[in-house]
Structure 1
Amino acid sequence: MKKLLFILLVLGGTTATIKAQNRSADEAAIKQTLGRFGNSWAKGDFSDMKEYMTPDCHWINVVGMHWHNLKEVQFAHQAFIGSALKGVEAKELSITIRFITKEVAIAYWLTHVGAFYPPDGVNRGGNKQGDKDNIATVVLVKQKDQWLITSAQNSDVIAQAAASDPVLHMNK
């Protein structure tokens, strides 16, 4: 009986260790996937987007434009990176990952986006945007041992509004 209990304890500990190792590997793979998006942004070329996004992906941008598949998401990102966002740096600040299942995760991706001038990248005196933090909620799915972006929405972080967040004043 003691041997059986010992074996069960060892197996239970081994399973927990394996799960923790898999979770760490998945977290690293998710960060790598987001990094690939960041690399496409930095290069100004989203032609490799099919390698890190699903064909049926969705993206809602900071002003509410909703793109419905890889073709639209890629086209829109390429259009903006070639005009208003041309040469604009997006610096990653943090990534927090929440696993929903073994094959589904949500990443909360905070970046700082430099100043830009919509709609065409030209400073017209009153069209400056950016130079602030941006947070994206990114849904990833694991397909064929690869984490892919399947949906995302990003929002500007407005520093003045953040100071009025009621959660900062709630009893915890």
Structure 2
Amino acid sequence: MKKLSVILLVLLFANIVVNAQSRTDDEAAIQKTWARFGNSWKNKDFSDMKDYVTPDCHWINVVGMHWHNLKEVQFAHQVFVNAFLKNAAAADKSSDLRFLTNDVAIMYRVTHIAAFYPPDGVDRGTNKQGDKDNIATIVFVKQNGKWYIASGHNSDVVAQAAASDPVLHMPK
């Protein structure tokens, strides 16, 4: 019985070590997938989106436009970076990753978006947007050993509203 207990303990420890290494590898792979999106933005070229986004993906942008598949998501991002987002740099600020299962993870990502001027990139004196933080919820799925973006939704962070966040005043 003692020998069986030792064997079970060794197997349990080995399983914990393997799972921890796997989770670290998955976290790194997810960060690389997100970096590919960032590179597409920076290069103003989303033609490689099929390599890191699922064909059936969804995306809801900051003003509530809902795109329903890779073709729509890729097209919309490309149109926007060619027009009013062409000079808007994006700088990642923070990230929080949560695994729901071994094959599904959610990232909460804060990015600072530089100023931009919709709808065509021209400053008309009253159309300035951006120059603020944006928070995105990105759903990643692991398919055939590779991590892909399956869904995204981003929202502006409204600094003036931050002081009114009820969680800041929640009893401890």
Q: Secondary structure at the match of 1:135?
A: strand
Instruction: Give the partner amino acid of 1:56.
Output: D
Mapped pair 1:24 → 2:21: no
| Number of equivalenced pairs | 172
- Partner residue of 2:99? 99
Report 1:2-151 matches (<5 A). 2-151=2-151
CA distance in 1 between counterparts of 2:81 and 2:163 reads: 31
4+ aligned runs moved over 3 Å, structure 1: none
Q: Secondary structure at the match of 2:164?
A: coil
**CA apart distance, 1:25:** 0.6
CA distance in 1 between counterparts of 2:27 and 2:133 reads: 23
CA distance in 2 between counterparts of 1:145 and 1:87 reads: 35
Identity among equivalent positions (%) equals 67
**CA apart distance, 1:125:** 0.2
Q: Residue deviations 1:104-125, cap 9 Å, x none?
A: 1111111100000001100000
CA RMSD of aligned residues (A): 0.7
**CA apart distance, 1:79:** 0.3
TM-score by length of structure 1 reads 0.98
**CA apart distance, 1:87:** 2.1
Matched-pair contact (CA < 8 Å) for 1:67–1:73: yes
Q: Residue deviations 1:96-147, cap 9 Å, x none?
A: 1111111111111111000000011000001000001101001111001110
CA distance in 2 between counterparts of 1:161 and 1:25 reads: 37
Instruction: Give the partner amino acid of 2:152.
Output: A
CA distance in 1 between counterparts of 2:95 and 2:34 reads: 9
CA distance in 1 between counterparts of 2:107 and 2:138 reads: 5
Unaligned runs of 5+ in 2: none
CA distance in 1 between counterparts of 2:123 and 2:56 reads: 35
Instruction: Give the partner amino acid of 2:35.
Output: G
TM-score by length of structure 2 reads 0.98
